[in-house]
Structure 1
Amino acid sequence: MNIKALIPNFFTMLNLFCGCVALVFVSNTEFELAFFFVSLGIFFDFFDGFFARKFNVAGPLGVQLDSLADMVTSGVVPGYVMYKMLLNSRLTSILEWLPFLGFIITLGACYRLAKFNIDTRQSDSFIGLPTPANALFFTSLPILPLVFHDNFHIIFSYNKWILLALTFLSAYVMNAEIPLFSLKIKNFSFAKYKLQIFFLAISVLMLIFLQIVAVPLIILLYVLLSVINNIVNKKASV
């Protein structure tokens, strides 16, 4: 038995385990712990691919396991978080079914993961927002009111229309034909990776000064910089 071949799948299983634990904490409205376990799962998700490439043991089984684990950690969990947030918003009796629309995030993530597995264009960069980034965005949202109190409590705990808009927007952005620049820096070259270095530097500063509040802002910055970069590159090629 090739032990090295089992290491990436072990990390994938840790990712799945973290997603299952996060679901339990979401059900108990312990959003901070849910966010922690989603982040930990995404951390393990990075290392399953890292070790698969390092040991040259990547295979179809690992690809399928990775998507199935991501479906829980980065698909079901953020959808459940949005369900809970909508459930806590001010709903009339006519709109009692509305919280279930939070699982549109889960549907969008499922479609994205299936597309990713058969899309050969996304080996070095992404087209559409990756599901882990989307999961970090949504699992961090219910924590913001704990930091900003009244202002964010009103926006994210009571305004169902903003929550629904974010839900539908996320399903679109995950599957839209929007190229996002790669975060992989294979060799240190400022000229070649200046955008990545700028983004990572800003992200670190935001995390230092804003802490948990920085998470959704970093995801938004990533998408915004990618769109601007696409426009600049398109104009340069004309």
Structure 2
Amino acid sequence: MSIVKHIPNTITCLNLFSGCTASLLAVEGHLELAAAFVLIAAIFDFCDGLSARLLKAYSPMGKELDSLADMVSFGFTPGLIALAYLKYAILGDVHADFNPAELEASQIAILLSAFLIPVFSGLRLAKFNVDTRQTESFIGVNTPTNAMFWASIPLVLHFGDYPFIVEWLANPAIIIVAIVITSLLLVSEIPMFALKVKNLSWQDNKIRYLFLMSLVLLAVLVKWLVIPLVIFVYILFSIIDNLTKKK
């Protein structure tokens, strides 16, 4: 096999490496850097699929490797970011140690709820690999989109001035609700359009172009808040796309 055929899997490994780095940074409480590496992992995730299509370098190993990398970068790492903010809400510090001997049972349960994200991410990835309906589009929110939502929180707090978000993060109930909703969206039956394109024509990619233009407009209006809003705009446009196709 030529070296060219190994390019997609090499890029996938870079996704996995970025995800491992992001997880380490999240554990240490460096959430902005962790978020940055999640974004880097997402770029590699997009590029590995693109390179596989361009080079026609598909393989069963590549499919499995991609899911394993996504589980770390877009499943485990977002769970660690959510855990850090639950620590902030309950213990007052994202760097606080998780010491069961010093915590109440209710506090332990609340902190461990963050791992619903990797659990449901694993279910979503396993479902995707065997669901023949998802060859051209998605059923349920994909793991990179969900990861972008959680990774956006430290970036928004770092680059923007949004006191209301800080207030929300001080309330563990709000974080738990966000964890549950985003986890359920991963395994939902909502049909979602994929961003990958086969050509650049307006007719074939109308919903994608409108989605991207709406994000640009939102970025102008709300600046950094556009990042966590991506998941909701994505769902909205997917619903509109499905309703349009049914007519």
Partner of 1:226: 238
Paired positions, count: 234
**1:132 CA displacement:** 0.4
**1:85 CA displacement:** 0.8
Against the structure 1 CA distance between its residues 68 and 197, is the aligned structure 2 distance closer, same or farther, given a 3 Å change threshold?
same
Q: Which moved more, 1:59-68 or 1:174-183?
A: 174-183
Partner of 2:164: 151
Residue 217 of structure 2 is aligned to residue 205 of structure 1:
yes
> In 2, Cα distance between the equivalents of 1:50 and 1:143?
27
Structure 1's unaligned 5+ residue stretches are none
Partner of 1:39: 39
Partner of 1:172: 184
> In 2, Cα distance between the equivalents of 1:224 and 1:39?
22
Match of 1:107, SS state, is helix
Q: Which moved more, 1:208-217 or 1:132-141?
A: 208-217
Amino acid at match of 2:20: C
Structure 2's unaligned 5+ residue stretches are 92-102
**1:222 CA displacement:** 0.6
Aligned 1:102-141 pairs, distance under 5 A: 102-141=114-153
Conservation of the 8 A alpha-carbon contact between 1:12 and 1:44: yes
Residue 28 of structure 2 is aligned to residue 15 of structure 1:
no
Against the structure 1 CA distance between its residues 211 and 18, is the aligned structure 2 distance closer, same or farther, given a 3 Å change threshold?
farther
Partner of 2:95: none
Q: TM-score, normalised to structure 1's length? A: 0.91
> In 2, Cα distance between the equivalents of 1:152 and 1:203?
20
> In 1, Cα distance between the equivalents of 2:144 and 2:217?
21
Q: TM-score, normalised to structure 2's length? A: 0.88
Partner of 1:88: 88
**1:210 CA displacement:** 4.1
Conservation of the 8 A alpha-carbon contact between 2:90 and 2:107: no
**1:214 CA displacement:** 1.1
Amino acid at match of 1:95: S
Amino acid at match of 1:36: A
- RMSD of the TM alignment (CA)? 1.8
Against the structure 1 CA distance between its residues 139 and 17, is the aligned structure 2 distance closer, same or farther, given a 3 Å change threshold?
same
